[in-house]
Amino acid sequence: MAVSPISSTATILIDGDHRYNNHLRLFSTSTYTFPLKSNHNTSLSLRPNGHICRQSPTTSESLSSNPPAPESSQIQTTTFLDPDAAEKVDLLENFSYTHEFDHGSLRIRLMASNEIDSTVMLLSESFSDAMGLPKRYVEVLAFLVKQYVMEKRSMFPHAATVVAFYKKKSKPSAADEDEKLAGTAEISFNALGMNASPPTPTPPRNFPYICNMTVEKKVRRKGIGWHLLKACEELILELMEEQSPETQVHLHCRIVDHGPFNLYTRAGYGVVERDNMLVWLTFQRRKNLMRKYLKSTTNIN
């Protein structure tokens, strides 16, 4: 496949979901380039520094290799560096959080291998909407997001992705509705689960970090985001309480996202640090780094 070298590169940093903005950055050890269907013969690249680049060609040049085939859905586990590794893996795999609303039921657990594609599409649609990209780019974005999700999945159990399934309560005369994917969130439990270059302000690497939390558009404003956050905290506590009865968890929230900021503040998070004005030079929105201290008695109800 022939692709032309770039004359100018416009860098697009995926800056998170506009509802629950925990700053998604895609990280990879390779650069993936592929053409877009347009009249301008342009292409997008996922660079090793985590940026998506739009490329405008000037002259022809052949790529030395094609984009790699998608990785297997089989989870590749590492180990915790302590004697209780197997027990912690079991805890993660058996984790379940449920909540009953007046309008339906919610179930949150670890993402299974057969749910990777649907989770990737949920993230891709959410971030595409936040970035203002045309719908035709969602499929392209999904390719890049999947590389990131698979890379994070290989860090298990130092990092994990949870998914939320929502089932709407049916009227007595109506047939039961199926359970549907309603949200997702990612947790890094320690330094081994953190991205190589996390977004600024940089969170401490040795404490849990929640990111890439998003809720399906059709079921927002129903309390699902609140309980997705609570489930992440509960999982962190269950996993960390044997090491310490108290820990701290961090997340990012864009300054412009007042709704998520109010949610996090109500849940007990406080601003630790804020991006300075210079971050605008990198085409990013300014973000707050927020922190909450968790104890085994924590209750955010």
Position 64 scores a pLDDT of 37
36 compared with 176, residue with greater pLDDT: 176
Position 29 scores a pLDDT of 37
Cross-strand partners of 110: 162
CA distance 236 to 211: 13
pTM across the whole model: 0.74
2-6, 104-108, 124-128, 129-133: the lowest-pLDDT one: 2-6
Question: Does residue 220 lie in a domain region?
Answer: yes
102 compared with 244, residue with greater pLDDT: 102
Question: Does residue 44 lie in a domain region?
Answer: no
How much is the CA Rg of the chain, to the nearest whole Å? 20
Q: How many structural domains does the chain have?
A: 1
109 pLDDT more than 50: yes
73 compared with 132, residue with greater pLDDT: 132
The range of the structural domain enclosing residue 170 comes to 85-295
CATH of the domain at 236: 3.40.630.30
- Please write down the HEC assignment for all residues of the chain: CECCCEEEEEEECCCCCCCCCCCCCCCCCCCEEEECCCCCCCEEEECCCCCEEEEEECCCCECCCCCCCCCCCCCCCCCCCCCCHHHHHHHHHHCEEEEECCCEEEEEEECCHHHHHHHHHHHHHHHHHHHCCCHHHHHHHHHHHHHHHHHHHCCCCCEEEEEEEEEECCCCCCCCCCCEEEEEEEEECCHHHCCCCCCCCCCCCCCCEEEEEEECHHHCCCCHHHHHHHHHHHHHHHHHCCCCCEEEEEEEEECCCHHHHHHHHHCCCEEEEECCHHHHHHCCCCEEEEEEEEECCCCCC
Phi, psi of 117 (to 5 degrees): -60, -45
Please check whether residue 208 is in contact with residue 188, taking contact to mean a CB–CB distance below 8 angstroms.
yes
27 pLDDT more than 90: no
Report the catalytic residues.
264
| Type of residue numbered 200 | T
Quick: pLDDT tens for 252-300. 999 999 999 999 999 999 999 999 988 887 778 899 999 999 987 644 4
Give the percent of the chain with pLDDT over 70.
69
Reported for 190-194, long-range contacts at CB under 8 A and 24+ positions apart, including other chains, are 190/158, 192/78, 192/155, 192/158, 193/152, 193/155, 193/158, 193/159, 193/160, 194/159
- Nearest 10 degrees: Cα torsion 138, 142, 144, 145: 120
Question: Does residue 3 lie in a domain region?
Answer: no
135 compared with 166, residue with greater pLDDT: 166
Quick: pLDDT tens for 64-94. 334 444 444 345 554 445 666 788 899 999 9
Position 191 scores a pLDDT of 94
Question: Does residue 29 lie in a domain region?
Answer: no
Residue-averaged pLDDT of the chain: 78
53-62, 80-89, 109-118: the lowest-pLDDT one: 53-62
Question: Does residue 62 lie in a domain region?
Answer: no
Q: How confident is the model at residue 175 (pLDDT cuts 50, 70, 90)?
A: low
